[in-house]
Structures are given as structure tokens and as C-alpha cells.
Amino acid sequence: MKKLEEALYAKWISRFGRAKVKELAEGLDAGKSVADRSKAIVKASTEEELRALLLEGFDGFFHQTVYLRKLPKAQQSIDAIKKLPVRGKPVNGVVLEEVTQPAKGELRCLLMVAEIMEFLQQNGSLVSEEIPFPVAIGISGGNLIVQVLTMQIATETWGKILEKDLRRMLTLVHADVLCDEVLNFMRDGKVDVGGYVDYSVASVKFIKMKDIDTFSGTYEVGTQGSTNHKTLRGKGKKALRESMPDEFQKLVSAVRIVNAEAQLTADYCGLKQAAKVALYPTVGKMAFRSKLQGCDPDDFIKEMAKP
């Protein structure tokens, strides 16, 4: 494994959080910091073990953006994916790294999507690197779920990964782009990836729950345009339900929700109290931004997928 790959794996594993990284590093000759322990885990693991760790991370530790799609014939999509070459030649920068079958009618995949990133060094010169980004695909209950690891890394951290003195990033990588590239890879391999799920109905049920604080929302008005009602979080700020009750009622009465930002005030569907989630129901997208360590978002995703 190249030094860049080792550095990236260490960064990804550090996203498991302090408690899990400490558990994974037990018995290893490692330091006390999350970074040192993550590096030790990478050094002590095989590539197969590291790929398995990434898939585990998507199941309950990584902050991630998730895309929900409905498959017309799930088993046909499973069979088509199983025919794709594993760790074969990249197709437009995408490689299928791992395929597992947790149960009948289910499938779990790990893919790497390579993106060219440019950085400006402190000496003024440009540096360009091909960076792989992990994406997981799961098929279960007739749904296809794409999970993209959120990589909001500061320039200083990228400098440590690349072992270069960087001034700033010149390239931003967006989860939507990574998802599209993975779906195109699947389509090129004759895999039916279905269509996105508009989970507006499920999102309204979620937002209306008493244990959910919603702080912003956008919904469609008729067939043209949308309207936005938003309060910002901060000291003394309240949820939309309390601060703008009339607008909250308009939001939860809408047929299609464009987006909403919410925070749990109690545990719900595998997510813990204080977890934050951004919903984009009309395009089947959701983002888990905090308090995910040790939580499994699968139950929440399945709840949103219910008709």
C-alpha cells in the first residue's frame, strides 16, 4: 500500500471516534492520540481488513451523505453487481473494492472514486493529486442506498496526508458528484440503479414528532417554485415549531418537502439524542452530520423509505 493510501486509511479510521479507535488499537504498540492509534491500526491490518473496517464505519460511525433509491427488481440488480470485476481496472476513476452478501436478497459493496485534487503550496506552486474517496452501496428491502463519507478536511490536514506544506485547497469534492459517478459506474456495468425515492411523506411524519426540533425548512408551493422559512440555531434561538408555529404548520402540511434541518431530542430509529440530520426528500437525499458514533443509520433510512 502506498504512503498516501495509508495516510487516507488512517484518516478514515480516525472518524470512528476516540472510543472505537481505542478498542480497535487494543494490544497494538500505539500512542494515546486518535491519530497515532489510527496509524497503528493501518500498519497492523491487511488491505482486506481495512476494507471491512470502512464498511463497518458506514454502518454506524461515519458522518455521511446518503442517497435512497427504489429498485424495480432488486435481485436482478444484485445479480448484475456480482458479475462486476472486483478490484479490476478503474472505469472513469471508479473501482469496485469489495462485495459481501449479509443475507438473502441483500448486498453490500465498497467502491473507491478517484478525484483529481489541486492544492496551492506555501511556495506558490501547484500540486495535483489523485485522491480516492470511499463510497458504500447497499441493497436491502428493494432499496438501493448510496453512502458517501463526508470529507470536510482542512487544508492543514490535507498537508499532513500529502506530506506537503499547503496554503489552500483549489478543488472541492462534493458528495453529489461522487454519488453520480458511482451510479454511472453501475449503469455502465448494466446494473439497474432504479430511481430516487421522494420521501416527503415520511419526512413530514418525522418532523411532526414531538421529539424532533426542526430549525429550517423549504417546501414546494403548488407546481412552481418553493418558499423557505428558517430560524438559525444559536444562543436563545428556538426550533421552528416554537418560534414560527404558523410557518411550521405550513411546512408539515406541504405535499413535497425540498429540505429541512432537524435535531433529535430523544433516541429514534438507531440515532441518538442530539443527532442532527439534514433532509432533502424530493431527491432522496439525507445527511448525517453529528452524534453518529456508535449509531446505525440503517433503521432511520429504512423508515424514510416506507411509502
- Residues 240, 241, 246, 248, Cα dihedral to 10°: 70
Between 148 and 296, residue with greater pLDDT? 148
User: What's the pLDDT tens digit per position in 129-141?
Assistant: 999 999 999 999 9
Say whether pLDDT at 291 is over 70: no
Instruction: Tell me the domain boundaries of the chain.
Output: 3-58, 64-196, 200-305
User: What's the pLDDT tens digit per position in 60-90?
Assistant: 788 899 999 999 999 999 999 999 999 999 9
Between 307 and 164, residue with greater pLDDT? 164
How high is the pLDDT of residue 235? 47
Say whether pLDDT at 43 is over 50: yes
Percent of the chain predicted with pLDDT > 90: 70
When the pLDDT of each residue in the chain is averaged and rounded to a whole number, the result is 91
pTM equals 0.92
Task: Show the CA angle centred on residue 184, arms to residues 178 and 190, nearest 5°.
Answer: 145
Between 177 and 235, residue with greater pLDDT? 177
Q: Are 83 and 42 in contact (CB under 8 A)?
A: no
User: What's the pLDDT tens digit per position in 159-189?
Assistant: 999 999 999 999 988 999 999 999 999 999 9
User: What's the pLDDT tens digit per position in 238-248?
Assistant: 888 888 888 88
Query: DSSP secondary structure string, 107-141?
Result: EEEEEEEEEEEEEEETTS-EEEEEEEEEEEEEEET
What is the Cα–Cα distance from 112 to 92, expressed in whole angstroms?
Answer: 11
